[in-house]
Chains A and B, each alone.
Chain A
Amino acid sequence: MNNKVKLEQVNIHFGKTHAVRDINMSFPENSVTAIIGPSGCGKSTLLRSMNRMHDLVPSARVTGKILVDNGDIYDRGVDPVAIRRRVGMVFQKPNPFPAMSIYDNVIAGYKLNGRLPREEADEIVESCLKRVALWDEVKDRLKSNAMMLSGGQQQRLCIARTIAVKPEVILMDEPASALDPISTLKIEELIEELKERYTIIIVTHNMQQAARVSDYTAFLYMGDLVECGETKKIFTTPEEKRTEDYITGRFG
């Protein structure tokens, strides 16, 4: 299988703090890779480096290479805005735009390409909402405010908003940790379906979730990549003692 995203010697510093150390790994295309590890191990930090979100933090410094389709996204002359349209992101807390309707939220990112005809917009809104299984729940109130939705619905709306931009990779930063079990289940089912079209990288501190949704798993501990490989193998016969201790709940 083709490697969509590849990390080579990635190091991330915040000021004097060395948050992520010498990461080398790759993320196969059309698969789900989970990054697990205890709080503060650098998993979110690593995820955010893959669509250059750290550009917003003046003290952050990313070194090494992060290749998407073999092109280093940190190369000089690479436009971070263009990268973020190829590598979308879903956040821990659902963050729809509160001043916008459901409809406008879905189209918010896509609309940045320029003015688009009404029919095209309608079509995109419908197909994206269908793909996140939200269409039937909201089709009669597309013009109502997005904040009227439940937390789980808001998160699916955020995913619809992300896929409307037609990214190739979707980064998910603990996308279900603020949700109830049923909403969580829906998000997990959705991830399963989305991998047919996208490469998904998900950070989670819920190990059962990692085991359920991912094809590959990477275990990060204190900024180091301890182990990565097929999820089945990581969860049954890990090579490293620390991995085994973590997944059996002995620490973390």
Chain B
Amino acid sequence: MDIDVRSSYCTSETENDVARATTKRREPDTAKRLNGDAVFRYLTTFFAFSILAILALMLYEMAGESMPAIKAFGWKFVSSKDWDAVQETFGALPYLYGSVVSSVLALLLATPLSIGAALFITEIAPGRLGSIVAPLVELLAAIPSVIYGLWGVLVMAPWLQTTVQPFLIEHFGFIPLFEGAPYGVSMLAAIFILMIMVVPIITSITREVLLAVPQNQKEAAIALGATRWETIKIAILPYGKSGILGAAILGLGRAIGETMAVTMVIGNAPNISLSLLSPAYTMPSVIANEFAEATTKLHASALMEIGLILMVVTLIVNALARLLIWSVSREAKGGAA
């Protein structure tokens, strides 16, 4: 910090002689400015740490509030499927199952789509088209999830009920995944809505990862006589591999935590059914639907425990994703040096 101050009046000294004359009078100011600097530093440090403190406090509080449920049910909480507020028995398996299945399948559908879109933007589209499409994709991520949900329940679900699901039942009904009756609101609807919602996220991060692939890697492939697709295959995708994986996992984190849109289209029935056509339930949905009527301590505590599981899972998933993405951008920077 000393250096900063000194250099700042070194320059004014060399710049003009008037400054030299006023140097003496500035002396007391310097002390004040140093003070300001220290205050600024403590203040920003405080803000930064308060974020960490909030996170820690939340984890602590949630764990504390979950204690009654953890003590009452132990591991049965995640292995039992009886959820009965009247009998006060709580097993969260259907919600866990619904969350995992809906977000993993949504991710499996969204990832190839997103990689394709990101490759189009960075490698295929002529310069200007790419720079128009990229912000549009990011704009999709900014749409409030309730709007996706509204569209999902009023437009997509009826369409699924009248068109897609009857078709699946008729032609693929022999597969357990597609048996049953067409309800419209269902696991399938949740998967589609989640897919649409995570594509923008995965696309924009994959795009950043692809942009971090050094030019010399692309040139290496091209100079070997690789076509555009071959260049993508041998130079670009392998280089960005872990970052793209990170982007997908980040999408997973988003999908697991998504509440509003899923609650609106999934049907909210605590089933564990192989069929994607039947209604299901997720962890965030059950919290959103039941918190108002959780009048008993155990019920509230059970919801808290679901929240705690959800929070820990999303924290881990997000940390993992950031780590993978970071490893690519760090390599890219190291490679450029």
Contacts and interface: CB of A to CB of B under 8 A. Distances in A.
A91 B224 CA distance: 12
A48 B127 CA distance: 21
Interface in B191-237: 214, 216-227, 230, 234-235
Nearest to B335: A98
Contacts of A89: 219, 223
Interface residues of B, number: 23
Contacts of A108: 221, 224, 234
B219 A84 contact: no
A116 interface: no
Contacts of B95: none
Contacts of A96: 220
B144 interface: no
Contacts of A175: none
Given A97-B235, A98-B239, A108-B234, A158 B225 contact: no
A51 B219 CA distance: 11
Interface string A213-245: 000000000000000000000000000000000
A99 B225 contact: no
Contacts of B127: 58
A64 to B, nearest CB: 22
Q: For chain B, what secondary structure do more than half of its interface residues adopt (helix, strand, loop), or is it mixed?
A: helix
B28 interface: no
A234 to B, nearest CB: 28
B126 A97 contact: no
A95 B336 CA distance: 11
B225 A165 contact: yes
Contacts of A165: 224-225
A239 B234 CA distance: 48
A91 to B, nearest CB: 6
A158 B219 CA distance: 12
B238 interface: yes
Interface in A109-152: 109, 112
B241 interface: yes
A85 B220 contact: no
A81 B220 contact: no
Nearest to B217: A95
A99 B227 contact: no
Given A58-B126, A95-B217, A95-B219, A84 B238 contact: no
Contacts of B126: 58
B239 A158 contact: no
Contacts of B223: 51, 53, 84, 88-89, 91, 162
A93 interface: yes
A165 B224 CA distance: 7
Contacts of A81: 225-227
Contacts of A85: 224-225
Nearest to A161: B224
Contact of A99 (B222, B226, B239): B239
A112 B225 contact: yes
A98 B223 CA distance: 17
Contacts of B216: 91, 93, 95
A53 B224 contact: no
A1 interface: no
A53 B222 contact: yes
Contact of A82 (B219, B225, B230): B225
A88 B224 CA distance: 6
A158 to B, nearest CB: 7
Contacts of B226: 81, 109, 112
Contacts of A84: 222-225
Contacts of B222: 53, 56, 84
Nearest to B241: A99
Interface string B273-306: 0000000000000000000000000000000000
A192 to B, nearest CB: 22
Contacts of A162: 223-224
Contact of A109 (B217, B224, B331): B224
A98 B219 CA distance: 14
Interface of A: 51, 53, 56, 58, 81-82, 84-85, 88-89, 91, 93, 95-100, 108-109, 112, 158, 161-162, 165
15 contacts: A56-B219, A58-B126, A81-B226, A84-B225, A85-B224, A85-B225, A88-B223, A88-B224, A95-B214, A95-B219, A97-B217, A97-B221, A109-B224, A161-B220, A165-B225
Given A84-B222, A97-B221, A99-B238, 4 more contacts: A56-B222, A84-B223, A98-B239, A108-B224
Interface of B: 126-127, 214, 216-227, 230, 234-235, 238-239, 241, 331, 335
- Can you list the 10 inter-chain pairs with the closest CB atoms, starting with the nearest? A109-B224, A85-B225, A99-B238, A89-B223, A95-B216, A84-B225, A95-B220, A81-B225, A81-B227, A112-B230
